[in-house]
A and B are shown apart, each in its own frame.
Chain A
């Protein structure tokens, strides 16, 4: 997996958005609720012994005769965690490759913004791939790690996200890249993440063939995750019913995100990566121009 220089420049101009204000460990460019030493004025408070004299606002003292010190907002980085769905359903229609490319691109954006980046895979459990990467210099490490990820197993978000995510501290921003095919239901799993006060962005990877199947006739349908099969005659009417059902599924996911104030973007697996990133940007709430 490799990005050309032009595309990298494009990515560097983007920033990951966090809908709720998150805190990090290191100083960086991202404002936090914490008081800090940035140039961003936050509030006044009465002087107390021990305060830095240089923060006393002498103009206020001249007017009111009281000593007040100025407080500033702290600027920190955030912890960005990319959770990539590796269930075998992602194999369909090039979704997994597309998801890996998007994960790498979003990870690079995080690294370029001095955020701390962790990469996890999940199916029925979360597995760390790379943790606490920081700085653009770690991009090659990220890319090679993404490259080596393979699909396996089934998706079970509730089971995967139920226990606390391993070794994730503080309130991270989670980029959940998945096809949301979860027989047990994706909503419970995501609610588990929200309950842990993570900021969650949803990236829905969809293959064109699963949106509008072109096959007609009699087939044995084989479930990529469970291996189960079913014989069926794919008539135009059946296909139409399936497409309605699939559209309803996508709408349900989007409604779920909206209901929980989660950013949601749907990308098509067969579109170029630049296009997919633009789609994410257009969906809003995940990326912004710096």
Chain B
């Protein structure tokens, strides 16, 4: 036998005065009566009424000692093997993979059913049992014994990425040897057979196998210089029979086109939509926007019925070149070529002296090129390309040895053999690295993109190669749109929505909004602290009068397949419901017992029941 509060056993010492007072009779008062006969008659009569009367003396002692034992046990909280129910600790693990958003015949999602089952399970627990809640994405509520409060707070977790269940369950069980994990899921988990066999993991299956069809892949593309955008999609059906649906193309919520979609079981269907502004007049497609391709009518699994894309503006960026007195002919030649190809527009030039007066007019749609000059202040928005700005740190004939192949401006570029007569060594993320250090750097931040070369075109042979022209094409393509974004344009459903680069502001609060739901996250030094996940559709990140949109899609064939999967060992069933008395605090029962004993004592003596 163990005690939660062994110091409460000191109460037992009160038994000594109880025994003393019980056996100490003291002096009995004498009472003269005129004749004892009547008293003897009634007293004998009373004593004859029940044999218990003779035991009253001892019954009183037993009642007092029982009350003391009950009080002591209420304070010391004993744990008796076989008699008392050991307190349980349960980790409720919710499967929050996208498949849990599938609708059941009653119109509710599997996640909601899982929450209901979890509430039922919590309702069967005993007083003092502890429960923690976590999901597969790692969100966790710590152990609590406030079961009623937990039931009230319990909500279906947001969608998260599919991670190995075994890892998360091991994480849940790591809280202690006595913890039992209850996994609420719609599909048999993999790699947890040993935990199922040990009884430390119990499964609660929710949902029924369903037929389903949806998008399992999708992408948008645009060739440089072209104004049309191609949406490439892949659809699949997970059923025994052919499924007929309709795909609806919409731009900024406005339907543009419809067409039939027939899906054969087991055969992925490739679909393509070409968005040509010329063929959709009045759609303002050139300005970019939010495009959705959705399947109708709705089926059991809405998350994969919609493919969302954020389209960049199709308007080429405007370019202005600030120069020390005369612009580089090599630069202007390259830019003229780009303008002729429709990759840039409004090409203009101006001496650096006019920069201050023009700076406020340069917006996000501008590429500002500083040719051999350095501005006092960088533009607040838009993209900046600096070539051979004067300054310290110049080296002669630096040897180019490497370049950042993943940097967007370097896409499909080979700097091998580049000759540079003289260059400054720059600091920052290297775009091109020489033995002496970076001779070109790049940086991007929400609202600004920046590429800097330490040498002028005339001081290298870069202009004589296709390298520079390709770099300019890349730069115009990237910097005018993607380089200005902090967030990607597309995320997978359940994927944490993290900014890829610094935000457009340093300090404050960023709002993530999707539909009616909105979260706020603090921003410190241009970095957002939280990374929420979102369901399918568009999510809006906004602060400081600037908004970025991202499309969230479920392009996951495994999640779309709602059919029955091979079963794993079921494992042990859920722990049996606690008996009613286990749901009441033991101290409450003990005190009630003491009160009952006191009432019994009162009946025994003052009412003379026996």
Give which listed residue, B29, B34, B43, B45, contacts A230 with CB less than 8 A: B43
Contact B605 A220, beta carbon cutoff 8 Å:
no
Question: Do residues B45 and A241 form an inter-chain contact, with CB atoms below 8 A?
Answer: yes
Interface stretch (choices A26-34, A137-145, A190-198, A221-229): A221-229
Residue from B30, B36, B46 in contact with A237 in the complex, judged by beta carbons closer than 8 Å: B46
A224 to B606, CA, bound (A): 28
Partner of A215, one of B31, B38, B43, B606: B31
Report Cα–Cα, A136/B605, bound state, in Å. Answer: 59
B545 beta carbon closer than 8 Å to chain A: no
CA distance A181 to B34 in the complex (A): 8
- Interface flags for A214-250 (1: CB within 8 Å of B; 0: not) read 0101111111111011111001111001101110010
Bound form: Cα–Cα A210–B40 in Å: 14
B41 within 8 A of A: yes
Q: Are B36 and A226 in contact (CB under 8 A)?
A: yes
Q: Please tell me if the beta carbons of A231 and B28 are within 8 angstroms of each other in the complex.
A: yes
List residues of chain B with CB within 8 A of the CB of A221.
31-33, 36, 39
Please tell me if B42 contacts chain A, counting CB pairs below 8 Å: yes
Check: B607 CB closer than 8 A to any chain A CB.
Answer: yes
- Please tell me if the beta carbons of B38 and A245 are within 8 angstroms of each other in the complex: yes
Distance between Cα atoms of A236 and B606 in the complex (Å): 7
A219 and B29 contact, CB distance less than 8 A: yes
CA distance A217 to B31 in the complex (A): 11
Bound CA span A6–B453, Å: 143
- CB neighbors of A among B16-58 (8 A): 28-43, 45-46
Interchain CA distance A218-B39 in the complex, whole Å = 13
In the bound complex, what is the Cα–Cα distance between A181 and B46 (angstroms)?
A: 22
Chain B residues in 8 Å Cβ range of A217: 29
Contact residues in B for A91 (Cβ distance below 8 Å):
34
In this assembly, does A86 line the interface, its C-beta being within 8 Å of a C-beta of chain B? Answer: no
Known contacts A235-B608, A237-B608, A238-B42: does B31 contact A219 (CB below 8 Å)?
yes
CB atoms of B46 and A92 under 8 A apart:
no
State the Cβ distance, B52 to closest chain A Cβ, in Å: 14
User: What residues on B are CB-neighbors of A207 within 8 Å?
Assistant: 34
Size range of the interface on B?
20 to 34
Could you tell me if A236 and B608 are in contact, using CB atoms closer than 8 angstroms? yes
* Chain A residues within 8 Å of B32, by CB: 92, 221-222, 224
Residue pair B35, A181 in contact (C-beta under 8 Å): yes
A244 vs B41: C-alpha distance in the bound complex, in angstroms?
Answer: 11
Q: Which chain A residue shows the least CB distance to B28?
A: A220
Distance, CA A135 to CA B29, complexed state (A): 50
The CA of A230 and the CA of B38, in the complex, are separated in Å by: 12
Question: Which of B34, B39, B42, B45 is the most central at the interface, judged by chain A CB atoms within 10 Å of its CB?
Answer: B34
Complex contact B31–A222 (CB within 8 A):
yes
Chain A residues whose CB sits within 8 angstroms of the CB of B39 once the complex forms: 221, 230, 232, 242
Q: B-facing mask of A54-66, CB < 8 A → 1, else 0? A: 0000000000000
CB-based contact A219/B608 at 8 Å? no
Collect the chain B residues with CB atoms within 8 Å of residue A92's CB.
32-34
The answer on a CB contact under 8 Å between A89 and B41 is no
A220 in complex: contacting residue of B31, B43, B607, CB < 8 Å: B31
Question: In the complex, what residues of B have CB within 8 A of residue A215's CB?
Answer: 31
The answer, yes or no, to whether A48 is at the interface (CB within 8 Å) is no
Contact residues in B for A95 (Cβ distance below 8 Å): 34
Contacts of A230 in B (CB 8 A): 36, 39-40, 43
Contact with B along A74-111 (1 / 0, CB 8 A): 00000000000000011111010000000000000000
Shortest Cβ distance from A93 into B: residue? B34
Q: A235-B606, A237-B46, A241-B46 are in contact. Are A223 and B36 (CB under 8 A)?
A: yes
**Complex contacts, B46 vs chain A, CB 8 Å:** 237-238, 241
Assess whether A220 is in contact with B30, with CB atoms less than 8 Å apart: yes
Task: Chain A residues near B608: list those with CB within 8 A.
Answer: 235-238
> Which chain B positions have C-beta within 8 A of A210?
33-34
Nearest residue in A to B609 (C-beta to C-beta)? A237
Smallest CB–CB gap between A150 and chain B, Å?
17
**B154-208 interface with A by 8 A CB criterion:** none
A106 CA / B169 CA spacing, docked (Å): 106
Q: Which residues of B contact A90 (CB under 8 A)?
A: 34
A224 touches B34 (CB 8 A): yes
Residues of chain B within 8 A (CB-CB) of A93 are 34
The answer to whether A219 touches B30 (Cβ under 8 A) is: yes
Least CB separation from B27: chain A residue: A220
**Cα distance A92–B33 in the bound complex, in angstroms:** 7
- Can you list, as one digit per residue, whether each of B381-416 has a CB less than 8 Å from chain A (1) or not (0)? 000000000000000000000000000000000000
Given contacts A235-B608, A236-B606, A237-B607, contact A245 B42 (CB under 8 A): yes
Chain B residue at smallest Cβ distance from A235: B608
Quick one: closest A residue to B605, CB to CB?
A: A235
- Is B33 a contact partner of A222 (Cβ separation < 8 A)? yes
Judge whether B34 and A222 touch: CB under 8 Å.
no
**A39 beta carbon closer than 8 Å to chain B:** no
A179 contacts B by Cβ under 8 Å = yes
What chain A residues lie within 8 Å of B42 (beta carbons)? 238, 241-242, 244-245
**A5 on the interface (CB 8 Å rule)?**
no
Least CB distance, A234 to chain B, in whole angstroms: 8
Return the contact of B35 from the options A89, A231, A237 (Cβ within 8 A): A89
List which B560-610 residues lie within 8 A (CB) of chain A.
Answer: 605-608
A207 to B35, CA, bound (A): 12
Residue of B nearest to A210 (CB): B34
By the criterion CB–CB under 8 Å, are A179 and B34 in contact? Answer: yes
Cβ 8 A contact of B30, one of A222, A238, A244 = A222
Q: Which residues of A contact B34 (CB under 8 A)?
A: 89-93, 95, 179, 181, 207, 210, 223-225
Inter-chain CA distance A228–B37, complex, in Å, is 10
Q: In the complex, A238→B53 CA distance in Å?
A: 13
Given A245-B41, A245-B42, decide whether A225 and B31 contact each other with a Cβ distance below 8 A: no
When distances are taken between beta carbons in the complex, the residues of chain B under 8 Å from A242 are 38-39, 42
Contact A220 B33 (CB under 8 A): no
A183 within 8 A of B: yes
Given contacts A232-B39, A235-B606, contact A224 B45 (CB under 8 A): no
B608 (CB) vs chain A CBs: closest residue: A237
Question: What's the least CB distance linking A95 to chain B, in Å?
Answer: 8
Q: Which residues of the other chain, A, contact B607 by a CB distance below 8 angstroms?
A: 236-237
Q: Which residues of A contact B45 (CB under 8 A)?
A: 241
Inter-chain CA distance A217–B29, complex, in Å, is 9
Interface residues in A146-186 by Cβ distance below 8 A to B read 179, 181, 183
Q: How far is the CA of A111 from the CA of B28 in the complex (A)?
A: 49
Distance in angstroms from B606 CB to nearest chain A CB is 7
Q: In the complex, A35 Cα to B88 Cα: how many Å?
A: 112
1/0 per position for A24-50, CB-CB distance to B under 8 A? 000000000000000000000000000
A229 to B28, CA, bound (A): 12
Chain B interface (Cβ within 8 Å of chain A)? 28-43, 45-46, 605-608
Q: Show 11 A/B contacts (Cβ-Cβ < 8 Å), sorted by A.
A: A89-B34, A91-B34, A92-B32, A181-B37, A220-B31, A222-B30, A230-B39, A230-B40, A230-B43, A232-B43, A245-B38
Would you list the 4 A-B pairs with minimal beta carbon distance, nearest first?
A237-B608, A223-B36, A89-B34, A241-B42
Known contacts A221-B31, A241-B42, then 19 further A-B pairs from the complex at CB < 8 Å, ordered by chain A residue: A90-B34, A92-B33, A93-B34, A179-B34, A218-B28, A218-B29, A220-B28, A222-B30, A222-B31, A222-B33, A222-B36, A223-B35, A224-B32, A230-B36, A231-B28, A238-B46, A238-B608, A245-B38, A245-B41
